[in-house]
Structure 1
């Protein structure tokens, strides 16, 4: 799929059929092309909003978030789109995660709600969420820390800079997840106890390294969390640390 002439995503056959007759969408044997139509006063953001509504009407979306995410093509920000429409179009999303450690070297982990559309009931990093449109990554992390764990900026002021762990590509029931996974690490003070605020987490607990390894071996973590945690352990190893300190 191309947007404004740039390769941007991997659209599903069902979404392709739903959008084939829309003004501004052109389907060829090679790709689905989306572009603004200035002569009809149809700028790209307006067209993408219409595309999201058509996908919704045709049952291609899993819910509706009423949240805009940036659409990227070949490394350039092109427009915005309703979050729920990103997967059917296979568009790149960016997610921020926090690995939160206790002073004694245990890891705070969170179990996803059984009602989550993706990976329900799986264990996850304490905090993980998508970056909203025009939102700096660090701002997104602070927002997600409060929504998912009740943490304030002062609770995570010793965090490491966000670093990219991987770009995920996987098939989902509604489309494709193409996602840059970024992670930061911090140590929470002993008297800070995370508490979910948005209802998307069913359980939060401290896990020893033996428990973390057991969960990893049993495939109990989401793929994003697994990559983030393993990267954190390697990051700590290369720094010669046996436990996170509150330096």
Structure 2
């Protein structure tokens, strides 16, 4: 195995180990009726149970009840209103994401919807798409995040990446993000879903439980990404060795480090290292 492949494999293993953190005892399972959907700090669970009649704390779980998806979204909105403006909620977006069972890692059976910023306090699944555009000679386009971004300003990232909205197919989400962040005309790239990363780790706002779908595409030498939404500072076309060096130095965000390495592993034929989804 070449030195490049060995580095990719070693870094992937290291980051995959970091991506799966044991849930501490201070957090208890969050049940949506009888479906496990996430987990929550026990102190928050006790507060919500004392505030809302549709919330209950049991010895080993927090239970949120609703008769249907519509009632659930309204009740979650009421809870969200209490959290808004506290240090438990970061970067309120007025964007809705799907709520799923914890083990629904393909978002096949959404339960309801919730404000994007509220997913971390409850460790709800979020779904993301990441684009790795490769030139035919193996270089990859990457992006530097705007210095005005609330999270990870100035860090390096995938050429395009973002969360999948409520009810949005993964492929359309990737096309939307590719257009907004890199100016890619929808349908102009043949995108392959090559890997799926699952991240479960503590963050400032609570707990990140993110299922990231990694998309690779080949681009011609004439391809030059250009940002449309102000969230990218600049783009660079880099050799794999330069990307690996920046990842080793911590200059990429954690999620994009995993996504970029998964793309490089796919490019190098290291498919046995990847979880390859059927999308």
The TM-score bracket by the shorter chain reads: 0.7 to 0.9
The SS at the match of 1:48 is helix
2:257 matches 1:226: yes
Q: How does 1:192-203 map to 2 (within 5 A)?
A: 192-203=223-234
Q: 1:212 aligns with which of 243, 248, 251?
A: 243
2:77 matches 1:44: no
2:142 matches 1:138: no
CA drift at 1:178 = 0.3
Report the number of matched residues: 235
CA contact (8 A) 1:112 1:120 kept: yes
Deviations 1:116-160 (A, max 9, x none): 33333221111111000011000100000011111112431x221
Q: 1:9 aligns with which of 24, 38, 47?
A: 38
State how far apart, in whole Å, the 2-side matches of 1:14 and 1:111 are.
38
CA drift at 1:15 = 4.0
The SS at the match of 2:211 is strand
1:152: which partner in 2?
A: 185
TM-score, structure 1 normalization: 0.87
CA drift at 1:222 = 1.7
CA contact (8 A) 2:161 2:177 kept: yes
Tell me, which stretches of 5 or more residues in structure 1 are unaligned?
A: 241-247
CA contact (8 A) 2:195 2:262 kept: no
State how far apart, in whole Å, the 2-side matches of 1:154 and 1:232 are.
20
2:209 matches 1:178: yes
2:276: which partner in 1?
A: none
Tell me, which stretches of 5 or more residues in structure 2 are unaligned?
A: 1-29, 272-279
Deviations 1:178-198 (A, max 9, x none): 011111111222222111111
Q: 2:117 aligns with which of 71, 78, 84?
A: 84
The SS at the match of 1:230 is helix
CA drift at 1:203 = 1.9
Q: 1:227 to 1:83 in 2, by over 3 A?
A: same
State how far apart, in whole Å, the 2-side matches of 1:4 and 1:179 are.
22
TM-score, structure 2 normalization: 0.77
